[in-house]
Amino acid sequence: MSRSAHPAGPRHADVLPEGQYSAPPTDLNALDSKVWAETVTRDTDGVLTVGGIDVRRLAEEFGTPAYFLDEDDFRARARSWRTAFGDDADVFYAGKAFLSRAVVRWLHEEGLNLDVCSGGELATALSAGMPAERIAFHGNNKSTDEIRRAVEAGVGRIVLDSFQEIVRVAHIAQELGTRQRVQIRITVGVEAHTHEFIATAHEDQKFGIPLAGGQAAEAVRRALTLDGLELIGIHSHIGSQIFDMSGFEVAAHRVVGLLRDIRDEHGVELPEIDLGGGLGIAYTSDDDPREPHEIAKALTEIVTRECDAARLATPRISVEPGRAIVGPTAFTLYEVGTVKPLDGLRTYVSVDGGMSDNIRTALYDAEYSVALASRVSEAEPMLCRVVGKHCESGDIVVKDAFLPGDLAPGDLIAVPATGAYCRSMASNYNHVLRPPVVAVRDGEARVIVRRETEEDLLRLDVG
């Protein structure tokens, strides 16, 4: 996946002889603004603060582990995507990155739309007042019940992912006496430079309908003949945590090629294209993500150029950023437990969470940064591995990190850039309770997703 997810360089501890890690940062107390939420800073005592609140106070009030989300930063990022694309395009926040009712309200207020991909996400969106017409419904295996609920609610679009689904959605819409606006998700055959598990536009995987072999054209043919469907456009999502725009360029070229073929065959110019999400964020100082205005400019130019060449009117563009909006806005705060130096290797720092609140390191070999949060220290850097409390040796939160040599049980450490795909992929492994998400803004902190309790766990266990 990104440079940070594939630590192929000299930071990869496992392939290097002892002592050959890249040099520790000169100042372990410094905070690289690339990876931290906008309002995170150190106060005069050196304690990390977010939204003006000291993390020791936050830990006392909300416990650890916990995700702290900078609401102003979230809103600013959402707004900057919205502004960058302007009124001729639509921004759908991808709810899978992290969704809660508060987030839905912020998105609504900031003028964004929402991409959901399950009945649960749809229910969350509707219950927080997102207008149904601003919702896109995704998924490679939507159930009949989910489709029915989406059509009944009046979602703005359903993104069709298979031939079977084309028929299924058409039938349900007809049964309900309506015409459902739909897009068809195609796979354009692009190899996105990202981790295999989150690349989605090559042909040998479960999403979308391949452009190759005329399958996408055949899907369009069928959709155009069904009364229950109003085909509004073509969708392509090439993968996630991508820095290189060339994949989007190829995707746009091929999607526009299909629009041209559709015009030539059916005399219809589809009015919309969706280029999905997937823009990368900084997990470490080595990552250099692009700003929304650069992305908007690049994508708009590509589509306009391709459409001009095909003599098509430029369709309305939509995008679906998830990680790029929420990822950088939160950090996870942990309390340090056992500190175990292993001679000649590294020091294992155990925290009170782990793979249940951040599965990304175990699943994608993702890289993260970490900082001592409850104080500053002038102690020598020590090479650490931050690990969780689960019964797995793969339970790693930060694979290679330098922390001060005087780190001790009771210290608080913070892992930045955990806003996306951490709480949303959290589990109850080992019956560990999922942490809360606390939104912080202007000196005030409020729980937006509460901590799970043992009662919650036992309530499900009805045997």
Tokens of 411: 């210290």
CB of 40 vs ligand LLP, minimal distance in Å: 21
Q: For ligand LLP, which stretch binds (CB under 6 A), given 36-44, 277-285, 409-417, 435-443?
A: 277-285
Among 421, 441, 445, 449, binds ligand LLP (CB under 6 A): 421
Length of the chain: 463
Among 276, 315, 388, 404, binds ligand LLP (CB under 6 A): 276
Nearest C-alpha neighbor of 372 from the set 386, 357, 361, 352: 386
- 247 scored as a contact of ligand LLP (CB under 6 A): no
Number of residues that bind ligand LLP (CB under 6 A): 23
Query: For residues 400 and 347, what is the distance between their CA atoms, to the nearest angstrom?
Result: 10
Specify whether the backbone of 151 is left (phi greater than 0), alpha (psi in -120 to 50) or beta.
alpha
- Contacting residue, 99, 198, 259, 382, with ligand LLP by CB under 6 A: 198
Q: Is residue 241 a contact residue for ligand LLP (CB under 6 A)?
A: yes
Tell whether residue 39 is a contact of ligand LLP (CB under 6 A). Answer: no
423 sits near ligand LLP (criterion: CB under 6 A): no
Phi-psi region of 274 (alpha: psi -120 to 50; beta: other; left: phi over 0): beta
Q: Are 323 and 115 in contact (CB under 8 A)?
A: no
Looking at beta carbons only, is 54 or 203 nearer to ligand LLP? 203
From the list 117, 307, 384, 391, the catalytic residue is 391
CA distance 106 to 407: 38
Residue span binding ligand LLP (CB under 6 A) among the ranges 79-87, 272-280, 306-314, 350-358: 272-280
Does 395 sit near ligand LLP (CB under 6 A)?
no
Among 82, 149, 323, 441, binds ligand LLP (CB under 6 A): 323
- Of 62-70, 236-244, 292-300, 338-346, the window that binds ligand LLP (rule: CB under 6 A) is 236-244
Residue 391: active-site member:
yes
Paired tokens of 108? 């609504």
Cα angle 238, 36, 374 (rounded to 5 degrees) comes to 140
Kindly write down the DSSP assignment for every residue of 4-23, as one continuous string. TTS--STT-GGGS-TT-SPP
Q: How far is the CB of 396 from ligand LLP (least distance, A)?
A: 15
Among candidates 16, 26, 29, 32, which has minimal Cα distance to 368? 32
Q: How many whole angstroms separate alpha carbon 144 and alpha carbon 289?
A: 39
Q: Which is nearer to ligand LLP, 102 or 362 (CB)?
A: 362
Nearest residue (CB) to ligand LLP, 254 versus 323? 323
The H or E element spanning position 117 is: none
Look at residue 433 and give its three-state secondary structure: coil
Among 240, 329, 332, 350, binds ligand LLP (CB under 6 A): 240
C-alpha span between 216 and 213 (Å, rounded): 8
77 binds ligand LLP (CB under 6 A): no
Of residues 365 through 384, those in contact with ligand LLP by CB under 6 A are: none
Site for ligand LLP in 91-130 (CB under 6 A): 94, 96-97, 115
Given a contact cutoff of 8 angstroms between Cβ atoms, the answer to whether 400 and 22 are in contact is no
Closest among 161, 147, 140, 139 to 216, alpha carbons compared: 161
Q: How far apart are CA 262 and CA 260, in angstroms?
A: 5
Dist CA 140 CA 125 (whole Å):
20
Shortest gap between Cβ of 81 and ligand LLP (angstroms)? 10
Residue 328 in the binding site for ligand LLP (CB under 6 A)? no
Kindly state the smallest distance separating residue 198's Cβ from ligand LLP, in Å: 4
278 touches ligand LLP (CB under 6 A): yes
Q: Which residues bind ligand LLP (CB under 6 A)?
A: 94, 96-97, 115, 138, 198, 237, 240-241, 276-279, 320-324, 360, 364, 420-421, 425
* Active site residue ranges: 391
